[in-house]
Amino acid sequence: MSKTTIGLPQWAQWLYARPGAAPLLLALQDECDEDVLLLLLTIWLWLQRCALPAPQWQALHLQQAAWRDAVILPAREARRGLAGDPQSQALYQIAKQAEVEAELSQLARLAVWLERSELTAAGLQQCLAAGCIGQMDGRRAELVEQLALCLERQLSSLQ
């Protein structure tokens, strides 16, 4: 399936650093309880002109939820718990790095999972909607639309 020259974790780090992308992804995470890793995966798939059929998305959501609940969320809670304590900044940085490493590790696992998956064709908004955990309405729909526009701007600037 690899049509890009870098792996999913490296690409996700690149995208996250693009202007406007991180705030929208974090808003979807914090305001709408979306899984940023699944959203990054959907964008990755779209760039390769691919999508997962609905049954595979359901399986992937379950697999990702188990990792998120067991590994990523505890690391995130630890980091957030240390954020306001000036005496714990060194520990905060360690917790932050642990959270990032857990996310990058899971992105690598997701990339391997994709190699064994049946893919179809889809557009960006369709991919983003499929990757979302909740209903595509209200604030979630607004943020996904803003993210799609941000991504399209970023990608058109590369051409």
Q: Up-side HSE of residue 87: CA atoms within 13 Å toward CB?
A: 0
pLDDT of residue 56: 84
Mean pLDDT, all residues of the chain: 84
Classified as helix, coil or strand, 6 is coil
CB 122 within 8 A of CB 50: yes
Q: At what angle do helices 36-47 and 21-32 cross, to 10 degrees?
A: 130
What pLDDT is stored for residue 2 in this prediction? 40
Task: Please give the backbone phi and psi of residue 50, each rounded to the nearest 5 degrees, phi first.
Answer: -135, 160
Task: Please provide the size of the chain in residues.
Answer: 159
pTM, 2 dp: 0.76
| The amino acid at 140 | R
pLDDT(140) > 50: yes
End-to-end CA separation in angstroms for the chain: 22
pLDDT in tens, 117-139: 776 666 666 667 767 766 767 88
Over residues 17-35, the mean pLDDT reads 91
pLDDT, tens only, 58-76 = 888 898 999 999 999 999 9
Question: What's the Cα-to-Cα distance from 17 to each of 11, 21, 117, rounded to whole Å?
Answer: 10, 7, 28
pLDDT in tens, 93-108: 999 999 999 999 999 9
pLDDT band at 49 (very low <50, low <70, confident <90, very high): confident
Report yes or no: 61 and 129 within 8 Å, Cβ to Cβ: no
Q: CB within 8 A of 111, min separation 6: which ones?
A: 7, 8, 9
- Kindly report which listed range (3-7, 53-57, 94-98, 111-115) carries the lowest average pLDDT score: 3-7
Beta-carbon contacts of residue 46 (< 8 Å; ≥ 6 apart): 122, 123, 124, 127, 128
